[in-house]
Each structure stands twice: as C-alpha cells, then as structure tokens.
Amino acid sequence: MRIVTCALLVFYGTTALALDLKPPSSAELCGDCHRAIFDGWKRSAHATAMESRLFQDALKGAETDFGVQARKNCLACHAPVAVLMGDLELSRKVSWEGVTCDYCHSIQEVTTTGGNPKAKVEFTLVKSGPSKDLFSPAHGTRFSPLHTSSLACITCHEYSNSQGFQVLATYSEWKNSTYGKGELGCQTCHMYRIEGDVVDPRVKRSATLTLNLHEIPGGHSIPQLNKAIKADLSTTREGDQLRVVVKLTNRGAGHYVPTGSPLRQLILELRADSLAGPHFSEQRIYRRTVEDRSGALLNREDLVFIKGARLVKDTRLAPNETKTEMFSFPIPRGTQARVRASLYYYYSPLATTEAQQKVTFLELTRLVQ
C-alpha cells in the first residue's frame, strides 16, 4: 500500500508539474526534477550573467551613453529570455536568470549567415538536448545534434559590433585551431560528463548515472585555468646579472587565452627578491588593445563593445602557442635570491575589489644561490 501511495504521489506530482510548466519557465521549476543539473548551473557564470554586479555596472554605462538599443544588445546574451519575451524592464523572474535552462533547451537551430549568428528559439513543452531515447513525465524531449556541437555556443561567444569590429571571437578562434579542425567542441572542455542523475531519483529512476557538467567552468575557474596554461621557470648567472626565463604555453584551451571581452588580461608578474636587500619586479601582460574610430584607447567594458573599431595590438596566447619571456636583474653571483613567477587572470577594470578583479592561479618559485 505504501509503495502504491508513493507511486501515485510521484505520478500526480509530475503531472501537476507538467501543468505548471508555462514556457519559458524559471530554472527553479526545472530544478524540481533536474536537481543535480540545477545545482551545477547555479554555480555557473551563465546563472549570474544578468545579476553580476560587473555586468550591471557595464549595462548602466551603456544605456546612459547609448540608449535603449544598447540595453537590448547587452541583454541579448546576458538575459536572452527577457529580449525574446519583450521583457526589457526585467519584470519576470526568469528574465533575471541569465542564460537559463529554457533558453538553451529551446534553441531549434542557429544561422551564421547575414551578420552575427542568430538562434531560432521556440518556447514549448518539448525540450531539446544532446541525449537520445529520453522520456520525461513533465515535458516532451527532442534529440538535437546542435546541442552536441559548438554552434550551440556561437550566438553569445561570437559578436561584431556596428563598427564592424569583432569584439568576441571565441568561436572563430576555436574553429581555426587544431581543436576546431579536430572537432573537439566547446562541450569537451566546458561540459564534460560527470557522475550524477539527470533526473532526481525521487521523481524518476534511471539507469543513466552521468550528465553534462552544467557548471560550465571557464576563466573564473582556477582548475580550468591550470588545465589551460603551463609555465616553466629557469634561472642562470651571467656575471653580476641574474637571468630568468619563463615559458608560457597554452596547452589546454582551444581558443586564445584570455578570450572573450578585450579587457580581460593574463598577467605574468616576475619578482626577484635579493636576500641582501634589493627587490625587483616586472610584468608581462597578454591582452587585446582596442581603440575607437578617433584613435582613443578604450578601457571601459561597454565602450569596447559599442565603440571598438580597431585592434591595436594582440599579445594573447593562441592555442598551442608558447611565449618565452626573459628577464635580467642586477643580483651578483654569491647573493641568494628568491625568484617567484605569478600568473593572474584579470577580469575587468570595473571591479571594486581585487578579488573580483583578478585571481592568482599559478605560482612558481626558486631559490637561487
């Protein structure tokens, strides 16, 4: 009797849930059944794409300087459901959920002709995804080859502004690399398979115990950064000079590092601290430098996206590229020195705290006699 009662509760519960689904639905509602997926997504940059304080500051600046069209352009990727539903005032909860469940799983196709890539999105009770032979008591399911390819990511990771400047080029960076030519797609690194239940066992038992990682780690993930960048440190003596060589290799990212916003930077800081007293420090910065049509350098996130017109310099690490940096310090032989190479991933100059602005993900040290 107890088993029958539980089964009826599950049946009526999922039936009620199906009736509650009014696409586009809140991710909270999706999480009722897809608990493990929801928990991972909640920790992702996709989930905070709209409510991020850095984005909010950039959005305010863009709207103040360029009006409502700039707002719409920004929200197209940071709150795509809001744009598709005409909710530019963000009155609906789902509009605040960033790149939310019902957006990605409602994409039907992507076109790449005629300007920036565009997604065809249909909010229905049939959800598209990368898995075959799935059944849900709450909604229909559809296998979508698109969701197994990098094209699923292109609409927000490839963008040219009205000046014709390619602000975001992550997809084309990948496409032109050995990763793209070898068809190792975005999901290979950012949505790999992990242990977990696609559907909460309390709702539906399943023999499938793996799912795609919806945390989608990227530049904010220290383990992901360490997978991408390899560093080697060596020292030699030449007379009264201490020579230091640091080699940086982009060994694990199928795109440039850093990628995305032109204001992101990879920073190498090299310190040589002589135990006798003198201290030395130098930096190498890997980034894109962008200017507007008048030749003014742009150092604000919203201005780069809207007014960026020319690439002045690009010092980033391409996929599989190694950069060799050489330093020399006046520390004579016989004087002990501690050499430290630190790598920082720098996010945005709009951040109000250092923790929001950059993260240290790799350090190499050596004591030199």
Domain ranges of the chain: 2-212, 222-368
pLDDT in tens, the chain (369 residues): 444 334 333 433 444 454 467 899 999 999 999 999 999 999 999 999 999 999 999 999 999 999 999 999 999 999 999 999 999 999 999 999 999 999 999 999 999 998 999 999 999 999 999 988 888 888 999 999 999 999 999 999 999 999 999 999 999 999 999 999 998 999 999 999 999 988 888 877 776 689 999 999 999 999 999 999 999 999 999 989 999 999 999 999 999 999 999 999 999 999 999 988 889 999 999 999 999 999 999 999 999 999 999 999 999 999 999 999 999 999 998 899 999 999 999 998 888 888 778 999 999 999 998
CA distances to 73, 218, 221, 366 from 103, in Å: 17, 20, 24, 49
Between 2.60.40.10, 3.90.1150.10, 1.10.3720.10, 3.40.50.620, what CATH number should domain 222-368 receive?
A: 2.60.40.10
pLDDT at 207: 67
Tell me, letter by letter, the H, E, C secondary structure of the chain: CHHHHHHHHHHHHHHHHHHHCCCCCCHHHHCCCCHHHHHHHHCCCCCCCCCCHHHHHHHHHHHHHHCHHHHHHHHHHHCHHHHHCCCCCCCCHHHHCCCCHHHHCCEEEEECCCCCCEEEECCCCEEEECCCCCCCCCCEEEECHHHHCCHHHHHHHEEECCCCCEEEEHHHHHHCCHHHHCCCCHHHHHCCEEECCCCCCCCCCCCCCEEECCCCCCCCCHHHHHHHEEEEEEEEEECCEEEEEEEEEECCCCCCECCCCCCCEEEEEEEEEECCCCEEEEEEEECEEEECCCCCECCCHHHHHHHCCEEEEECCECCCCEEEEEEEECCCCCCCEEEEEEEEEECCCCCCCHHHHEEEEEEEEEEEC
